[in-house]
Each structure stands twice: as C-alpha cells, then as structure tokens.
Structure 1
Amino acid sequence: MSNVLILGAAGKIARLATQLFLDRTDDKLTLYLRRANRLTATDEQREKLIDGDTIDEAKLTAAVKGQDVVYANLAGANIEAQAKSVVKAMDAANIKRLIWISTLGIYDEVPGKFGQWNHQMLDGGYLETYAAAAKVIEASDLDYTIVRPAWLTNTDEIDYELTQKGEPFKGTEVSRKSIADLVVKLTQDPTQEVHHSIGVNKANTDGAKPAWY
C-alpha cells in the first residue's frame, strides 16, 4: 500500500485515475484541490480531501508529508509557479517521487504538419508556460516522470504507446483513461521511467491533426 497525493484532483484525468486507484490498488489517496466541495469521497477509509492551492507552500508541504508519491495534474497560466511550489514542498517534506502531467510539444518534438498545427493551436502562452514548468521539474533533485500526452479524448479505452525525450512524438491523440492507467502503473512501480519525460499517444493516429478535430 502506498500513500498518493493527487494535486488538481478535480481534473478529468485525475478523476479517472482516482477511480482506477480505488479499483485496482489498496493505496490511500489525498485529493488536493481548490474548492474541494466539487468532489465527494466514495471511500472515506481511503480518500482524504484537502481544500488548497498549490501556490500555498505551507499548506502543500503539510499535505506532502507522509506521502509516497505525488501525482500532479495541474493547469493554468501560473503552471511554472505551481511547479516551483511543488518542488519546494516536496524538498521540504523529503518526498522524492513525482509524476507530472505536461503536454506534447514542449521540446518542439512534434514532427511534420501535425507539429505545425500543434504550434498554431498552443503557441502564445500555453506551450511556453508548460515548457518552463517542465524545466523546473527537470532541474530539481526529485525522482520525476514528466508525462506528455497527445491531444486528449474521452474515449473509454486504454490504448497507448510511449516515446522518450529526444525522440519524435508519435500520433495525434490519446484517451484520458490511457493517461490515468499510465499514472497508476507508475505509482505501483516507482522505479519506472524515473528522470524520464515520456510522450504518450494511441498508435496509428498519425495525421495533420487529431481525426476528431
């Protein structure tokens, strides 16, 4: 059994991951989010809700203490500041294992017409801020894994493949449930993909943009 802190627990991927944790593991979950009344614990013996902002370093540090893994599913224009806060809190609590959800394109790793389209859609504040946040994580002394999903779908499937930093990104889309599955697998074997930044896509979805867009 592990203690897992989920940051941004109201997000779609985080909700799917929470359910997978409950279904597949005996892990205890701390769900950290703003406006915690948006969630209800379905298993009060295993789920604890904390109403908090990741920028609140004191509150975040208190939440990190006693955890085995921190899974950060964060968003917002201040994502770089959130990354700095997470690193400081984990260092203060002496917790090392971090799974950080980012996005594709932060290394300009998406090739061809899809890469051009991705830049057109995400440049102007999004890619830049997520890339800056990833640099904060990579410069830390944490045992991090950065996860870079393709464009996300709500398809009820688990079907994905991985690429590593420095390799061209594959495919155009992947299901949120696939990312949730990967997160749970990484927590169950915390030696997997340490200090790696991994792209995640569904195989055979190459194209100039996601088929559904």
Structure 2
Amino acid sequence: MTKVLILGANGKIARLAEEELLANTDFSMNLFLRNASRMTATDSSRQNIIDGDSTDKEALKAAMNGVDVVYANLSGSNIEDQAKTVVAAMDASSVKRLVWISTLGIYDEVPGNYGKWNHQMLDGGYLETYAAAAKVIEGSDLDYTIIRPAWLSNKDIVSYEFTEKGEPFKGTEVSRKSIADVVVKLIQDPSQEVRHSIGVNQPNTDGDKPSFY
C-alpha cells in the first residue's frame, strides 16, 4: 500500500488532497505540520499526525520512514531553506518522488498585463524566494513535479489545464480543489510529469487579473 508524507498538512490545498486520498484510495498518510494540535485525523487507521518543522532534517527523515511519495505544501519566507532540507532528507531516506507546490511567475513566464500585475503583487520577497526554492528542487536528483498554480480561488470546481516550463502561462486563476486533484492524480500515478514544472490554470480565465480582484 502506498504511503504518502504530506508536509504542511494543514494547508487548504493539502486538506482537500487528504480528503480525496481518503475517499478514492487506500493510501496511508503521514501528516507533518507545525503545531499539530491544530489537526485531528479523519481516519486514524490511515493518518498519522506528526508535529515537526520542515527545516529539521532529522524530523523529516523520521517522517519519511516507509514513505513512497512526498507532497510538499509549504510556504514562508524560508521556503528555500525548507526546500534544501526536504531534498537532503529525501536523499538520506532514499525517497525519490516529490510533488512540490510553488507559484506562477517564478520563471517570469506570465505574459502581458497579467504578468505585470502578478509582479506588482508578488515581487519584493515572495516570487524571489519561491523561485530560489524551485531552483533547489530542479537541481536535485529527485523525481520531482513542481506545480505552479494560477491565483487560487475556493470555487467548488475541478477544471484545469497545464503549461510546461518554457511555455507562456495561461489563464489567471484556478481553484484549490483543482490543484488538489492534480496532486492526488500525481500521487496515484507517480510516473506522470516527472522532472517537470507545470503551470496549472482554469481554462478560459484569460485577462489582466483574476475575476476576484
């Protein structure tokens, strides 16, 4: 049976992915997060909650015992340090498959007025740190997939398309539910999008900014 380590397990996308994994697979999960008292296992036979920090290599190594796939739903100004520690812990634990949530714009791949708006919103520490973290992941020997979502909504919809690294980003927004669906499909079939960085957007949402701005 597949075992998944979810880092940042209390995040909104992570929570949706966890629900989908429980409903549609028999996989087990290590749910890793700071202040673990914030979470309660939905199914204690399949979910193990671990209190830890993603810059703590030894804690990550312990959480990776018997794990097949690591899904990182991390954030923060120290995201580059977290990336370095995750890679080091995976190397030490001989775990190869990583699904890493990043953001659009890390390659300056967002065209037009939307790209200018995105820079205005995210420059000054956010884009730079997420780009640096992605560079760490891409420089590793892991079987990674980097997911670059458009601006996130809470819409109850699963609808998305991909762009690959080197292609102009499409669309302006995507639902968290859609990103969770992408994550779960990659966990279910780890052979897909290996060593790819994929932009993910809801089709037909082109414009100068997301609809909710």
Structures share fold, TM-score greater than 0.5 = yes
**AA aligned opposite 2:145:** T
C-alpha distance in 2 between matches for 1:65 and 1:113:
46
The correspondence of residues 195-210 of structure 1 with structure 2, limited to 5 A, is 195-210=195-210
Name stretches of at least 5 consecutive residues in structure 2 with no aligned partner: none
The correspondence of residues 173-212 of structure 1 with structure 2, limited to 5 A, is 173-212=173-212
Residue 57 of structure 1 is matched in structure 2 by: 57
SS of alignment partner, residue 44 of structure 2:
coil
How far off its partner does 1:211 sit? 1.0
C-alpha distance in 2 between matches for 1:156 and 1:47:
25
Residue 73 of structure 1 is matched in structure 2 by: 73
SS of alignment partner, residue 106 of structure 1:
coil
Q: CA RMSD in A?
A: 0.4
**How many residues are treated as equivalent by the alignment?**
213
CA offsets per residue over residues 41-97 of structure 1, 9 Å max, x none? 010100000000001111111111210000000000000000000000000000000
TM-score normalised by L of structure 1: 0.99
Residue 18 of structure 1 is matched in structure 2 by: 18
Residue 144 of structure 2 is matched in structure 1 by: 144
**AA aligned opposite 1:44:** S
C-alpha distance in 2 between matches for 1:64 and 1:115:
38
Residue 167 of structure 1 is matched in structure 2 by: 167
Whether contact under 8 Å (1:102, 1:134) holds in the other structure is yes
TM-score normalised by L of structure 2: 0.99
C-alpha distance in 1 between matches for 2:71 and 2:174:
19
* Percentage of identical aligned residues: 71
C-alpha distance in 2 between matches for 1:4 and 1:77:
25
How far off its partner does 1:158 sit? 0.5
Residue 122 of structure 1 is matched in structure 2 by: 122
Structure 1 outlier segments of 4+, above 2 Å: none
Name stretches of at least 5 consecutive residues in structure 1 with no aligned partner: none
Whether contact under 8 Å (1:65, 1:95) holds in the other structure is no
